[in-house]
Amino acid sequence: MSEIRDTVILGSGCAGLTAAIYTARANLKPLVLEGHEPGGQLSITTLVENFPGWPDGIQGPELIENMKKQAVRFGAEFKMNHLVSVDLSVHPFRLKTGQGEISTRTLIIASGASARWLGLPSEQALIGHGVSSCATCDGFFFNGHDIAVVGGGDTAMEEALFLTRFATKVYLLHRRESFRASKVMMERVIAHPKIEIMTNTVVEEVLGVEEKSVRGLNIRNVKTGDKSVLPVTGFFLGIGHEPNAKMFHGQIDLDEDGYIRTNDNVLTRVPGVFACGDVQDRRYRQAITAAGTGCMAALEAEKYLEEHGH
């Protein structure tokens, strides 16, 4: 017999931890399955300066650790279990993990989205040291720098435009000739005096691993084969995000890019299953908005349990 929990939370980023704090304080003894990237995207950022309540900023990992401590203080339980499959067609819902089965009356999905990276070892080594996938989070640190953004969709355009507030120059690198970005964003980018567009350009290496600070990019023009060094000190990825929701395919509604569709902010089409944070939010993707929807999901779970006599 597997144990039956009132609430299981999938994911331990901002959304999941906020849901954990609220459900724990409601005495639901939530179980948080921490997932592949414990702490979520904040755990790989450096200084967070836009989370209200920290006038001098706070390191991303520390913010996450504080939230976790707060949830534990009220009785949330954390497990590193790896989730193998879920069955939402039965109630209580059934979760199969590497360490056994768990049944739960409510499920809060806060499994987040992972930024896509190019996958270069030098890029990975310099995340947080000049390489970032979030202009809103890290742009401020690049005041007076020359920066490159890679990507050809709206995220890249938005990042490039945002970064012009700080950078002296923004190079927008795209691997093809034509762009996916919407016309209006594209026009703004083309018209911006600080942005230089480089098409048919791929990044082969980020320079500065030894120095632990970006000092340039090895780039190649895929049409001409020409190789050169782009002397930038910041490198932003704008090549999209992958919502971590594949496991729910066919059980709840996902949109065309795999994000969980929700009504009234956090309700999925299965009563008792709620989604919050970046796995259902392709628009704002901020720590504070993830925390906000995590709170909503917790309140909805509490309401659901109460209405069903638990």
Of 14, 56, 87, 134, which one is the catalytic site residue? 134
When the beta carbons of 18 and 132 are compared against ligand NDP, the nearer one is 132
Measuring CA to CA, which residue among 48, 88, 19 is closest to residue 252?
88
| CA–CA dist 205, 136 (Å, integer) | 24
| CA–CA dist 243, 221 (Å, integer) | 31
When the beta carbons of 169 and 175 are compared against ligand NDP, the nearer one is 175
Contact 105, 305 (CB under 8 A): yes
State the nearest-atom distance from the C-beta of 284 to ligand NDP, in Å: 10
Task: For residue 89, count CB atoms less than 10 angstroms from its CB and return exposed for 0-12, middle for 13-18, buried for 19 or more.
Answer: exposed
Is 137 noted as a catalytic residue in this protein?
A: yes
When the beta carbons of 187 and 211 are compared against ligand NDP, the nearer one is 187
Task: For residue 309, count CB atoms less than 10 angstroms from its CB and return exposed for 0-12, middle for 13-18, buried for 19 or more.
Answer: exposed
Is 6 noted as a catalytic residue in this protein?
A: no
State the nearest-atom distance from the C-beta of 299 to ligand NDP, in Å: 28
Enumerate residues 6+ apart whose C-beta is below 8 A from 228: 218, 219, 220
Given the structure tokens 């594949």, which residue do they identify? 246
Is 295 noted as a catalytic residue in this protein?
A: no
- The partner residues of 172 in beta bridges, in order of sequence, read 149, 197
State the nearest-atom distance from the C-beta of 262 to ligand NDP, in Å: 16
| CA–CA dist 266, 275 (Å, integer) | 5
Of 6, 138, 278, 281, which one is the catalytic site residue? 138
Given the structure tokens 């199969």, which residue do they identify? 96
Which residues here bind ligand NDP, judged by CB under 6 A? 116, 118, 150-156, 158, 175-176, 180, 182, 239-240, 282
Of 6, 56, 87, 137, which one is the catalytic site residue? 137
State the nearest-atom distance from the C-beta of 137 to ligand NDP, in Å: 15
3-state secondary structure of 81: coil
Given the structure tokens 């009132």, which residue do they identify? 6
When the beta carbons of 155 and 280 are compared against ligand NDP, the nearer one is 155
When the beta carbons of 4 and 190 are compared against ligand NDP, the nearer one is 190
Position of minimal CB gap to ligand NDP: 153
Compute, in degrees rounded to 10, the torsion defined by CA atoms 277, 283, 286, 287. -10
State the nearest-atom distance from the C-beta of 43 to ligand NDP, in Å: 21
What are the residue numbers of the active site?
A: 134, 137-138
